Amino acid sequence: MRTVTLKTGERVPVLGLGTWRMGERRSERAAEVRAIKLGLELGLGLIDTAEMYGEGVAEEIVGEAIGGVRDGIYLVSKVYPHNASRTGAVAACERSLKRLKTDRLDLYLLHWRGSHPLAETVAGFEALKKAGKIRHWGVSNLDVDDLDGLAGVRNGGNCACDQVLYHLGSRGIEWRLLAKCQAARIMVMAYSPLGQGTLLRKSAVGTIARKHACDPAAVALAWVLRQPGVITIPKATRPEHVRANIKALDIKLDADDLAVLDAAFPPPKRARPLEMT
């Protein structure tokens, strides 16, 4: 598995598993556990979840799928903004660990900016780090100005990641945020890399997929992963989707492919507020 290296020197797999929408329907639970297990067996060593997903049930599903095994699994979860006070973040993380049936997270993210001052959230994250309950912390859905604000708070420079919306149909981060993160060695974790499935019916994506004899999803993922310092976390419950997505690691898009995709999905021409799903 290719990796991105954090500023601490730690290496993180570039392709993982998303879990949003898991834990919402009881009838899907067994399939969701199986999909995560399959992804891990095939080498997708990173799982992204959140206390928000299924109001905790997605974390329980992840806990069931990993069955207490932590070697080779990079585990990421997120705190709700309304829980992200200094003490609230600690308590929320402890609840997540219980649902995940583990004693530590590799990465803990602020899900989006809320009303608690960033300094408080960072103090909570640093306390969790000191206690060994998380190894690194980061943020999600923070735009350039918020990252500037974060850099100004005590220990704000320890931010390891910004998880943001990034796919062919939503390229706004290419205007400034991506370069800012790359310069600061803040890993970008691209969410909704398949545009929640909508991208896969676009003809330009199909054209490139036929050329590389792969699934359109693999093209969409390879496109996101062409950027240095970027990893991604497609969500897939169907086993054929999990298998198709892994193929992205074998695909190298050439200049002609990128030109076709740029024509169909133009890069940004001006600054825009960061989009969120």
Instruction: Please give the size of the binding site for ligand NAP, defined by CB under 6 A.
Output: 28
* Residue 275 binding ligand NAP, by CB under 6 A: no
C-beta pairs of 210-215 under 8 Å, 24+ apart in sequence:
211/257, 212/251, 212/257, 214/244, 214/247, 214/248, 214/250, 214/251, 215/244, 215/245, 215/247
What six digits make up the tokens of 268? 């940004």
CA atoms within 13 A on the CB side of 236: 27
> CA 121, CA 90: separation in Å to the nearest integer?
9
Binding to ligand NAP (CB under 6 A) within 123-152 occurs at 140-141
Residue 74 annotated to the active site? no
- Which of 119, 200, 253, 264 contacts ligand NAP by CB under 6 A? 200
Question: Of 13-21, 66-74, 96-104, 260-268, which segment contacts ligand NAP by CB under 6 A?
Answer: 13-21
CA 85 to chain centre: 22
Binding part of the chain for ligand NAP, among 5-13, 61-69, 83-91, 194-202 by CB under 6 A, reads: 194-202
Half-sphere exposure (Cβ direction) of 162: Cα atoms closer than 13 Å: 30
Q: Does 192 bind ligand NAP (CB under 6 A)?
A: yes
| Given 53, 74, 108, 191, the catalytic residue | 53
In the chain, count H helices and then E strands: 10, 9
Region of 12-20, 94-102, 206-214, 248-256 interacting with ligand NAP (CB under 6 A): 12-20
Phi and psi at residue 258, in whole multiples of 5°? -65, -35
Tell me which of 175, 241, 253, 260 binds ligand NAP, using CB under 6 A: 241
Mark out the alpha helices in the chain (DSSP H runs): 29-41, 57-66, 86-100, 118-130, 144-151, 177-184, 203-212, 216-224, 239-246, 255-264
Asked if residues 123 and 84 have their Cβ atoms less than 8 Å apart, the reply is: no
CB of 130 to ligand NAP, least distance (A): 25
Rounded CA separation 47/76 (Å) = 6
Please count the residues of the chain: 277
Position among 5, 87, 203, 277 found at the interface with ligand NAP (CB under 6 A): 277
For ligand NAP, the closer CB: 140 or 154: 140
Q: Which residues ranging from 220 to 239 are in contact with ligand NAP (CB under 6 A)?
A: 233-238
**Span near ligand NAP by CB under 6 A; candidates 16-24, 119-127, 130-138, 260-268:** 16-24
Q: Is 265 in the site for ligand NAP (CB under 6 A)?
A: no
195 touches ligand NAP by CB under 6 A: yes
Residue 88 interacts with ligand NAP (CB under 6 A)? Answer: no
Residues forming the active site: 53
| Residue ranges binding ligand NAP (CB under 6 A) | 18-20, 48, 111, 140-141, 163, 191-197, 200, 215, 217, 233-238, 241, 244-245, 277
